[in-house]
Amino acid sequence: MSKIAIVYGSSTGATEAVAEKIQAALGDATLFNADGVNVEDLKAYDFLIFGASTTGVGDLQDDWEILLPKIEKLDFSGKKVAVFGLGDSASFSTSFAGGMYVMYKALKGKVEIVGSVSTDGYTFDESDAVVNGRFVGLALDEDNEYNETDKRIAAWVDDLKQYLD
């Protein structure tokens, strides 16, 4: 059985609530808040799910910004990573869910990153988080497209199951 950890960074609670939904959909995963997580504790997990909201203009959520340099130093041998990111595609239509890309960019090449998502059904103008025509992970918009969230989580978790032993 893969041991799964979800590490979320959330400034006003939206990403935290989504992380709990992802945990429930997976059935067996441990939640960590990026604010205060001990990176040593993540070594025991072989599947890591990193989630963060977007701040500034396409920037990574504050707690994750502090955590990321420590995460980059983890020994990722034998591990897989998936990312999810929240954003507001109406107010920030040209930097939608950019925080997710900041994590992806720091980790690509160091670890296998799985769980890219089609941009079909999303409304936005530009996003760093789109690489080769797909989101690098699960993009969610709790400000405008909250009606889509449960469906998007269910489809994503279903897709991730192929990578879990």
Ligand X SMILES: Cc1cc2nc3c(=O)[nH]c(=O)nc-3n(C[C@H](O)[C@H](O)[C@H](O)COP(=O)(O)O)c2cc1C
What residues make contact with ligand X under the rule CB under 6 A? 10-15, 53-58, 61, 86-88, 92, 95-98, 142-143
CB of 161 to ligand X, least distance (A): 25
Question: What whole-number distance in Å separates Cα of residue 14 and Cα of residue 85?
Answer: 10
Between residues 11 and 30, which has the closer beta carbon with respect to ligand X?
11
CA distance 120 to 110: 28
CA distance 105 to 136: 10
**43 versus 123: smaller Cβ distance to ligand X:** 123
Q: Output 46 or 84, the one with its CB closest to ligand X.
A: 84
> In this complex, which beta carbon is closest to ligand X, that of residue 79 or of residue 122?
122
Least CB distance from residue 155 to ligand X, whole Å?
19
Minimum CB separation from ligand X for residue 75, in Å? 28
List, in order, residues 6 or more apart from 125 with CB less than 8 Å away: 93, 94, 96
Cα-based angle 149, 153, 155 (whole degrees, multiple of 5): 120
* Closest CB 73 distance from ligand X, rounded Å: 25
Question: What is the Cα Rg of the chain in Å?
Answer: 14
